Amino acid sequence: MSWPLSDLAPAGRVPVVLAPMAGVNDVMYRSICVEMGADLTFTEMVSSKALSFANEKTRRLLDTAPNELHVGVQLFGHEPDTMAREAAWVEDSLGEKLVCIDVNMGCPARKIIKKGDGSALLNTPDVAQQIVRQIKSQVSCPVTVKFRKGFAAGEDVACDFAKRMEDAGADWMTVHGRTTAQMYSGDADWDVLGRVKRSVSVPVIGNGDIKRGEDARAMVDATGVDGVMIARGAQGNPWIFPEAAAALAGEPAPAEPTDEERVAMARRHASMLDGYMGNTIVYMRKHVMWYLRGVPGVREARGALNSCVTMDDFNRVLDKILVDAADVRAREAAYRAAPGR
């Protein structure tokens, strides 16, 4: 099945997409993001080489949630034949849920680029083109690419690279406005998104520095991109999807989540994971700190959270965090209401 990008969102609004993030996009978190309004979710990036060895742990990354009707799979690698063969297997496995096969040409992690994968493909555009062409020959779904502004510090090859990907047959592309050398530091260059958008005829999704819903609207207004992809801004923050949708539609922003809502979502994520793959409280350590950003006392509770072994431990610590946070909020309110304030 071929999904045009524009069909993924309501008429008059560009799609809001959950970026592929290794170690973050577990199937249950993607389910939560769909429920909260993500138009398209991506799995964690998947190694084409590991798939070729029928690695069970890697294949499990392709599990989907019942409500996840639109899912993209991002493959990484640098061997065109292997990537094309495994892309075909992915398409057969996911069926109509699969929106696109995306090729990772943007990951800056050293362990990825030293093998010639991820953003190292910016340095081998002929190989990148061959990967796209060969995957296109093996699948019927859209083939997309995600890449960065450039590889070295100060480098800007995005427009030339985008044209080469379009020539190879890419159906749409996502551009991150940082170089590999920047990793995730500094500010994303949104100007490059607009330049890429004007240089190709296929849709372009913008990525980088969408931290609040209004940032999504600002990116679209500034660059004309056809969609927005949210990565770190969505970590522990599924509420960013209704915020972004409202901003893009010109509607009032929804209320920010309360302390109770943040804790409840962390509990729910942990409980869903526990039912899916057994005791996963260790895995929830990073997630819970993201969920509870801004809740009073959570930094002081980090040690207790990191010591949790069971769901009961986890829930007891969250109960105490809520009690302590409510006390802080009450004292803050009393101070603001005091005579003379």
Report the number of distinct structural domains present in the chain: 2
Q: Is 42 left (phi over 0), alpha (psi -120 to 50) or beta?
A: beta
Distances (CA, A) of 170 to 4, 42, 159, 164, 167: 12, 17, 14, 9, 7
Backbone angles phi, psi at 94, to 5 degrees: -95, -20
Last residue of a domain, one of 248, 281, 315: 248
Range of the domain at 147: 5-248
The answer to the question of residue 151 being in a domain is yes
Whether residue 154 is found in the same domain as residue 218: yes
Whether residue 194 is found in the same domain as residue 273: no
**Range 38-76 burial, b when 16+ CB lie within 10 A, else e:** bbbbbbbbbbbbbbbeeeeebeebbebbeebebbbbbbb
Write down the residue that tokens 């849920």 correspond to: 97
21 is in an annotated binding site: yes
- The two tokens of residue 201 are 């005829």
231 is in an annotated binding site: yes
78 is in an annotated binding site: no
Strands (DSSP E) found in the chain? 16-18, 40-42, 46-47, 71-76, 98-105, 143-150, 172-179, 204-207, 227-230
DSSP letter for 248, please.
Answer: H
Whether residue 123 is found in the same domain as residue 212: yes
Q: What is the pLDDT of residue 341?
A: 60
Q: What is the pLDDT of residue 166?
A: 98
The answer to the question of residue 62 being in a domain is yes
Which sequence positions are flagged as catalytic?
A: 107
Residue 37 and residue 219: Cα distance in Å, rounded? 19
Last residue of a domain, one of 221, 248, 275: 248
Where the chain has pLDDT below 50, the residues are none
Q: What is the CATH number of the domain that holds 139?
A: 3.20.20.70
The answer to the question of residue 277 being in a domain is yes
Whether residue 193 is found in the same domain as residue 223: yes
Whether residue 178 is found in the same domain as residue 243: yes
Q: What is the pLDDT of residue 4?
A: 81
The answer to the question of residue 158 being in a domain is yes
Contact between 136 and 165 under an 8 Å Cβ cutoff? The reply is no
What is the helix, strand, coil percentage profile of the chain, to 5?
Answer: 50, 15, 35
110 is in an annotated binding site: no
Whether residue 276 is found in the same domain as residue 134: no
Whether residue 315 is found in the same domain as residue 273: yes
Q: What is the pLDDT of residue 252?
A: 94
The answer to the question of residue 253 being in a domain is no
Contact between 65 and 38 under an 8 Å Cβ cutoff? The reply is no
Whether residue 204 is found in the same domain as residue 266: no
The answer to the question of residue 254 being in a domain is no
